[in-house]
Amino acid sequence: MKKLVLILVSALCIGSLMPGCKGKGKKEGPKGNTSTSGVVVMACDASFESVMEQEIDVFEYVYPNANILSYYLDEKSCVDSLLFGNARLAVVSHELTKEQTDFLKDKRHFAKTKKIAVDAVAVIVNPENPVENLSMKDLSEILSGKIINWNDIYPSKLGKIQVVFDHNGSSVVKYMADSLLNGEKFADNVYAAESMRGVFDAVKERRNAIGLVGVSWISTDLKTSELTSEERIKTLEADDTTATTFVEGVKVLGMRRDNSTIAYKPYQAYIFDGSYPMYRPIYMINTGASGSLANGFFAFVTSFRGQKLMMSTGVLPATVHHRMVSID
């Protein structure tokens, strides 16, 4: 059985649709497929990788006979993987269309969908950049090329603005196109770094760069990714959570609506009350049969425990009651 699992991991990872496979293949092998054992494949939007890896880590620690084989792709590839049976779970920023759910029904696969969190799109710059906040109009004009120089926003010697996304087809790119560009094309100075970590590298190295990332990638609570699974579980047993702060090495800009002089950073409290203007839902879609591992992991992520774990990543959980905190 162990050999079968390893072969499955290899086959998925080398497939043209699955370059980001993170199946671990580290256990002795599953003992039958149940809600807490076996193998299941999950296709996840790459911008949510840092969120779902922690969910997987805890689930597999609690249920050592479970193997969640995760791969991280653009959103369209995630949905295609679900529709054509390459994955039983998908994590994306939108629900399936009626045509897509009908397609699955024709194949006798019935999709269960639940919103698991609200993500924010964060704007990051080099710490040496003197700009502290942008309006939504500023960002729109930067993306479309109407504003091409930092001097047009704030007096500086930074020169031409360089915008960095994770990769073409990213859900962050789609969000910006749909919510800010209104049909206009991205400017020539907008490019893909091919990964979220590549965005951070570009911003750290270039004083003129501006990066767009999911909020979970800037939460210092990501230091929990360095904890052992046992230590991470203990943090879930605490009665309280700490206020999120952001990673060092980059500066997170505040964003303000065009009719406001007040800028907000993507803290959970400001995502919760709508003050931070750039946010989007995260949905988990399950096509697994009742009693399957897909169903078991879906139940875990949507449970109180899974939602509390999600809170530590910087996104806003969908169902955990939120503690409002004072943020300086």
Mean pLDDT of all residues in 129-154: 95
- Residue 109 — φ and ψ, nearest 5°? -120, 125
Tell me 189's DSSP state.
T
Domains of the chain and any CATH numbers: 2-117+282-317 (3.40.190.10), 120-272 (3.40.190.10)
Helix (H, G, I), strand (E, B) or coil at 181: helix
d(CA 34, CA 144) in angstroms, rounded, equals 50
Beta bridge partners of 149: 160
Q: What is the pLDDT of residues 171-194, one digit of tens each?
A: 999 999 999 998 899 999 999 998
Q: What is the pLDDT of residues 88-122, one digit of tens each?
A: 999 999 999 999 999 999 999 999 999 999 999 99
pLDDT at res. 29:
45
Q: What is the pLDDT of residues 50-86, one digit of tens each?
A: 899 999 999 999 999 999 999 999 999 999 999 999 9
- Residue 91 — φ and ψ, nearest 5°? -125, 115
Nearest-CA neighbor of 224 among 244, 197, 239?
Answer: 244
Helix (H, G, I), strand (E, B) or coil at 41: strand
Paired tokens of 66: 């479970």
Per-chain mean pLDDT for the chain = 84
d(CA 162, CA 20) in angstroms, rounded, equals 26
Mean pLDDT of all residues in 126-151: 95
Q: What is the pTM of this model?
A: 0.83
